[in-house]
Copies of this chain bind each other. A is one copy, B any other.
Amino acid sequence: MKNVRIGIVGLGTVGSGVVRILKEQQALIAQQTGLSFEIVKAIIANPDRERASYLKDVALGTDITQLLQDESIDIIVEVMGSVAAAKDLIEQALAAHKNVVTANKDLIAQYGQELAELAMANNVALRYEASVAGGIPILQILRTAYKADQVHTIAGILNGTTNFILTQMDEQGLTYDQALKAAKEKGFAESDPTNDVDGFDAAYKLAILTKMAFGLSVPQSAIDITGIRELAIDDVKAARAAGYELKLIGLSDLTDEGLRLAVAPMVVHENQPIAQIRNEHNAVLVKSQNIGTALYVGPGAGQLPTGNSVVADLIHVGQTITSNGDVYPFALKVATTQPKPVSGNRSYWVLVATDDPDSLVDNIKLSVAGAVVSNQLTIRGFDPHQAWTSLEVTAPTLVAQPHFTTTMQRLADVKAIYPVLEA
C-alpha cells in the first residue's frame, strides 16, 4: 500500500464530498489502486462552524502556509472557490512542487493555460475534472477517446441551475420567477443567481471544453452569451407544443469561417436524447470525425458527483507520483486553427409568434442591427398559418440570442427566435 498525503483548502459542498468519499470508499480505493489517501489537514475560513460527523476527525487549520510548508504533503485540493485567492494559492502550491487538484471553473477558464505551464515547469500535475459538468468525466474522455479523433462540435447543457429552471417552467408551467424561486428553495440557485441565469457559468465551462477539444484558448468576450432571465413561459409552451424543448446550450462549433462560440437558449427536438436531460443534470454532445455523434450525460453538480471527480483526479495523480509517470499538459490538443469572427451563420431557427396565425405571412423582411438582410433569407418549411414555423437564415453576424435587435416588417409581433440545435 502506497500512502498519498493530501491537504484540502475548503470544506464546503465539494470539499466535504471529497472527504466523505475518501473515507466511505477507502477499502474500494485501496483494493483498486493500492493507494491509501491520508488527509493531513483541511484549511477553512470558519473553524467554529458545525460540521457533518464524517468531518469530525479531520484536522482543521486556517492558515494556508501550513499546507504549503509541509513537505510531506503530495497533493493540495483547492475547493475554496473564488479566482484571485485560489490563483495565488495554486501558484504557491505549484512553485512548492506540490500537485494540485481543483474544481474551480472560473479560475481554470481564465488562467488554466498559465497555471498548467507553471505546473509543467515544476514537474507536478494540475487536474480539474470537476470544473466542468461535475459528475461527467468529460475531460478524461476528451483526453483519451479523442486522442486520434478530430472534434467538430461541442454542444452542452453545462449549467444545472438553469436546466432545473427550464424543466420546472416546461413541466410545471411555472414562470421564470416562480421557477427561480423553486430553484433557490432546493438549493440549486444562489441568492444572487446572475452567474447561472445570465450564462456566465456555462460560458466558463464552454471555454474549458473548447480548450480541451480544439486546443483553443478563448476569452469570455469571444463567446456570444445570452441567459434565460428574459425567457417567457409562453415561449417554453410554444416550443413544447411544436415538439421542441428549450435548453440553455453552450456551443463550440468549428465551421469553415472559424469557431462559432455561443451560450444561448436553443430549441432541441424532443426526439433528440439531449432534449430529455432534465432538472440539474448536465450533458455534453461531441461530434467528431471518427466517433461521429456521442453524448455524455450525468449530474452537473452535487456533493458526491463532484467529489467523485475530484477523487478520480486524486487517484490519477496518486498513481502518477507513485510510479514516476508522465505529467499531463493542460490540454492534449494543440490548435491547428485560430478562432476568427464568424462572418456567416447558417442555421435553422424556430420562430415563436403570437397567437394570431395570420400575423405570419410569407413576405418576411428581417433586419439585424438596422440593416435589412431579408435578401439573405432562405425560407424552408414555412407555413404562414402556423404560430410556429422554421426559417433557414443566413445572417451577417452570429446572432444566437433570442433578443437580438430584429424587426420583421408585416410581422411586428414576433416574440423570439431560437436557433435549433441539430443534435
Interface residue tally on A, bucketed by range: 35 or more
Cβ B312 vs Cβ A29 within 8 A: no
How many Å lie between the Cα of A273 and that of B273 in the bound state?
4
Q: Which of A251-287 contact B (CB under 8 A)?
A: 270-278, 281, 283
B contact residues around A274 at 8 Å (CB): 273
Query: Does A156 sit within 8 A of B, measured CB to CB?
Result: no
Query: Does A149 sit within 8 A of B, measured CB to CB?
Result: yes
Cβ A21 vs Cβ B305 within 8 A: no
Query: Does A135 sit within 8 A of B, measured CB to CB?
Result: yes
Cβ B297 vs Cβ A273 within 8 A: yes
From B21, B294, B304, B305, A298 is in contact (CB under 8 Å) with: B294
**Stretch binding the partner chain, chosen from A96-104, A138-146, A221-229:** A138-146
Cβ A298 vs Cβ B298 within 8 A: no
From B140, B270, B292, B299, A305 is in contact (CB under 8 Å) with: B292
Cβ B304 vs Cβ A299 within 8 A: no
Some 14 contacts from A to B, beta carbons below 8 A apart, are: A25-B148, A28-B147, A29-B148, A31-B334, A33-B147, A135-B292, A140-B141, A141-B141, A148-B308, A148-B315, A270-B276, A271-B278, A273-B274, A295-B297
Q: Which residues of A contact B (CB under 8 A)?
A: 21-22, 25, 28-29, 31-33, 135-137, 140-141, 144-145, 147-150, 270-278, 281, 283, 289-299, 302, 304-305, 307-309, 311-312, 315-316, 319, 323, 325-326, 332-334
